[in-house]
Amino acid sequence: PAGLDKQFADELNSSQRAAATAPDGYNLILAGPGSGKTRVITFRVGFLIARGVPADSILLATFTRRAAREMVGRLGELVGNQAGRVWAGTFHHVGNRLLRGAAKDLGFQSNFTILDSEDQTDLLRLAMDDAGLVDKSKLAPKASQLQHLISFAINTRRPLAAVVESEAADQAEWLPEIEKVADAYARRKLASNCMDYDDLLTQWLRLLDEFPNRLEEQGRMFRHILIDEMQDTNALQIEIVEKIAAAGRGNLTAVGDDAQSIYRFRGANYDNILKFPDRHLDARVFRLEVNYRSTPQIVAFTEASIAHNQSGFPKQLVSARNDGPLPVVVATADVYEEAALVCQQILEAHDQDVPLGRMAVLYRNHYDSVVLQGELLARNIPYTVRSGVRFFEQAHVKDVMAFLRVVLNPRDEASWRRLFVLLPGVGPAKAGAVYQRIASEADPLKALATAETMAIVPSKSRGLFAAFVNDLNLIRATDPEHHPARAIEAVLKGGYPGTIRQKYDKADNRIKDVEQFAVLAAKYDSLERLLAELLLAGDVYGMDAAGSEDPQDVLVLSTVHQAKGLEWSHVFVVRLVDEGFPHRRAMDEPGGEDEERRIFYVAVSRAMNELMLSYPSTISRGGYGPTVFSTPSRFLTEIRHDLYERVVLEHEFDRLNADDDDDEGEPPWTGRPLKSQPDRDSKT
């Protein structure tokens, strides 16, 4: 179509166009940040559809749901309605969809529940009991650590023994027990018809390995596979796509940047992208060398940083933009002053007509944002946090989900137990006993009301228990499978709000949350889809709150990990102290410094126009802990001084320049002064 041709001509440069319109087969696009990789892969999907490839035979794997939504939106501008029919989403999301139709082959039912990481830990504790490994023993590995080891082995496709050896050598003596726990855990998931996030991939792969007809089916189904952010895929994901591509048409387009690989702790390996040409000797490799995102000053700074890495594939990157200001580095007295500075700079930029939504504050660790959030609240700057506890991870939201889940999947042991312990006088042991009692019944819900079950419940709680059973029946009567919002309203009408008041603080807010949950649910006509959607909203990598869009024009606060692939006009990277960013723990691991530098690289390469990097000169450990001097991050000090401007705070400026006799050899404080507070006479 002519319109599309014009867009290809106007919106892509010639190397981008070559990549987007590459012939069928194996194609790799390896290029730096801001070079248009995501744009190219989106256009390629449009190109394929325009050439007659059915939209629903295209698999577009993205790193987050948000990224998938954005790409599909963009694609809509190219090809219209068909965009919505592309299989776009994270690997976990696509796995979930496929497994619903194939669960029976694997011994699951199609209404299996997805466990989030807290549910997973709970189930793992039970598995530890099964295997006789006690969490409480000082020496034994903790449930959360086992969870990590088991998951890491799965995602890297390595034997558990090897992973324990390399990642937790001090636990090696427990290996036989750890293996037993892993088996017991797998059995428990199967028995309760639950899958954890990893299962959405492992069971998918099992399907391809053990059922030749499924492999053939998916090979036929996905005529083209495209992967964005390939550098952060793990061995399991690669095996899945390579299998499907090989069984089908062998059309695989991979896009990524090894220098932006930052999920090693989840088993990601940038060799997946660097070895692509070795796996496919006929692969075409495309390079994109023009950065459209950032000013030459920001590109020079970011490239100077990544050049300090020991490993990495060398790439060219030239900015297509006009000159802008140098990146600014500021030291503040402490974390409070840093927060004040960032807020003030944001307000000043906002006064210059930069919308809040085009600015972001990025940090290495979620807790680095707490002081800043206080200052933002104090100054009435609206913001959204893309890290930390997500909506559905809050206890009360999970309780409500448990109500829905047991109605949908009555074998969901973890949810039953969660509900039982809400009752006074019922602890984990009693909850387990009640579950055992009903588990084998054809209709566990009905079995709840029997005298035999009642006998297990402590006598003083029987009244409440009967009311609880009644609530469940009322919830079931709303036909929750098709009307999830009605089911949540039924939860609100029952005894649960009373439980909230008894068990939790801020009860009113929590009840409002549940009401909002019902509002959200009203958009869905399938409970199964609502639950899967919520649990996959951010999947294993965190990200967006429960299905909700970001409010318009608010400042974004985010960990660097969750800022991947995104861009803002003004970016503030805070807490750049050694031991914070780079993270202290990472520095003890082989390759850890390089990984941390890649994280820094991702952070600074998000900026389009202005980049401010700050660090507090002193840090106190905890609210009342001793205050110690901090060392600026090596990621700042290692960069050539002419690539950034050292700027000081207004009230420091005079002092620093007055006593310049002391700082022999130190570069002089020539930077402009910055304000951290509003003018006294200003009206705001």
Per residue, what are the HEC states of 480-526? CCCCHHHHHHHHHHCCHHHHHHHHCCCHHHHHHHHHHHHHHHCCCCC
Start-to-end CA distance of the chain, whole Å, equals: 53
Task: Tell me how far the alpha carbon of residue 179 is from its chain's centroid.
Answer: 28
Nearest residue (CB) to ligand ATP, 257 versus 337: 257
d(CA 16, CA 10): 11
Rounded to 5°, angle at Cα 59 from 57 and 64: 150
Question: Strand, coil or helix: what is 648?
Answer: strand
Q: List the x/- string, 17-36, binding to ligand ATP by CB under 6 A.
A: ----------------xxxx
Report the DSSP beta bridge partners of residue 607: 568
Nearest residue (CB) to ligand ATP, 12 versus 419: 12
Q: Please tell me whether 31 is known to bind a ligand.
A: yes
- Concatenate the DSSP letters of all residues of 557-589 into one string: EEESGGGTT--EEEEEE---BTBTTTBHHHHTS
The interface partner of residue 292, options being ligand ATP, Mg ion, none and the CB cut-off 5 to 8 Å by kind, is ligand ATP
Nearest residue (CB) to ligand ATP, 242 versus 257: 257
**What element of type H or E holds 360?**
strand 359-363
Question: Strand, coil or helix: what is 457?
Answer: coil
Q: Output phi, psi for 318, to 5 deg.
A: -120, 135
To Mg ion, the closest distance from the beta carbon of 642 in angstroms equals 29
**What element of type H or E holds 609?**
strand 607-616
Q: Please tell me whether 33 is known to bind a ligand.
A: yes
Does 64 help bind Mg ion (rule: CB under 5 A)? no
Does 35 help bind Mg ion (rule: CB under 5 A)? no
Q: List the x/- string, 35-64, binding to ligand ATP by CB under 6 A.
A: xxxxx-------------------------
Q: Output phi, psi for 302, to 5 deg.
A: -65, -40
Question: Which positions from 235 through 274 interact with ligand ATP, judged by CB under 6 A?
Answer: 257, 260
Does 248 help bind Mg ion (rule: CB under 5 A)? no
To Mg ion, the closest distance from the beta carbon of 225 in angstroms equals 17
Report the DSSP beta bridge partners of residue 559: 363
The interface partner of residue 293, options being ligand ATP, Mg ion, none and the CB cut-off 5 to 8 Å by kind, is ligand ATP
Preceding peptide of 582 cis, ω within 30°: yes
Does 598 help bind ligand ATP (rule: CB under 6 A)? no
The interface partner of residue 13, options being ligand ATP, Mg ion, none and the CB cut-off 5 to 8 Å by kind, is ligand ATP
Site size with Mg ion, rule: CB under 5 A = 3
The interface partner of residue 36, options being Mg ion, ligand ATP, none and the CB cut-off 5 to 8 Å by kind, is ligand ATP
Nearest residue (CB) to ligand ATP, 32 versus 580: 32
Nearest residue (CB) to ligand ATP, 260 versus 453: 260
Cβ atoms of residues 547 and 351 within 8 Å: no
Among 95, 267, 565, 671, binds Mg ion (CB under 5 A): 565
The interface partner of residue 253, options being Mg ion, ligand ATP, none and the CB cut-off 5 to 8 Å by kind, is none
Closest alpha carbon to 34 in 294, 285, 231:
294
Closest alpha carbon to 373 in 513, 363, 674, 607:
363
To ligand ATP, the closest distance from the beta carbon of 302 in angstroms equals 10
**Cβ-count burial 34-50 (b if 16+ within 10 Å, e if not):** bbbbbbbbbbbbbbbbb
To ligand ATP, the closest distance from the beta carbon of 14 in angstroms equals 10
Cβ atoms of residues 531 and 405 within 8 Å: yes
Does 38 help bind Mg ion (rule: CB under 5 A)? yes
Q: Please tell me whether 295 is known to bind a ligand.
A: no
To ligand ATP, the closest distance from the beta carbon of 317 in angstroms equals 10
Does 294 help bind ligand ATP (rule: CB under 6 A)? no
Nearest residue (CB) to Mg ion, 558 versus 630: 558
Among 211, 265, 292, 541, binds ligand ATP (CB under 6 A): 292
CA-based Rg of the chain, rounded to a whole angstrom?
27
Residue 365, token pair as written in the block:
């660790």
Cβ atoms of residues 485 and 493 within 8 Å: no
Site size with ligand ATP, rule: CB under 6 A = 17
Report the DSSP beta bridge partners of residue 27: 253, 284
Does 303 help bind ligand ATP (rule: CB under 6 A)? no
DSSP conformational letter for 283? -
Single out the segment in contact with ligand ATP by CB under 6 A; choices: 7-15, 76-84, 97-105, 506-514. 7-15
Among 327, 565, 582, 616, binds ligand ATP (CB under 6 A): 565
Residue 61 zone, left/alpha/beta (φ > 0; ψ -120 to 50; rest): beta
Among 93, 293, 417, 476, binds ligand ATP (CB under 6 A): 293
To ligand ATP, the closest distance from the beta carbon of 256 in angstroms equals 8
Does 302 help bind ligand ATP (rule: CB under 6 A)? no
To Mg ion, the closest distance from the beta carbon of 363 in angstroms equals 21
Residues in contact with ligand ATP by the rule CB under 6 A: 11-13, 16, 33-39, 257, 260, 292-293, 565, 567
Indicate the annotated binding residues.
Answer: 31-38
Residues in contact with Mg ion by the rule CB under 5 A: 37-38, 565
Indicate the annotated binding residues for ATP.
Answer: 31-38
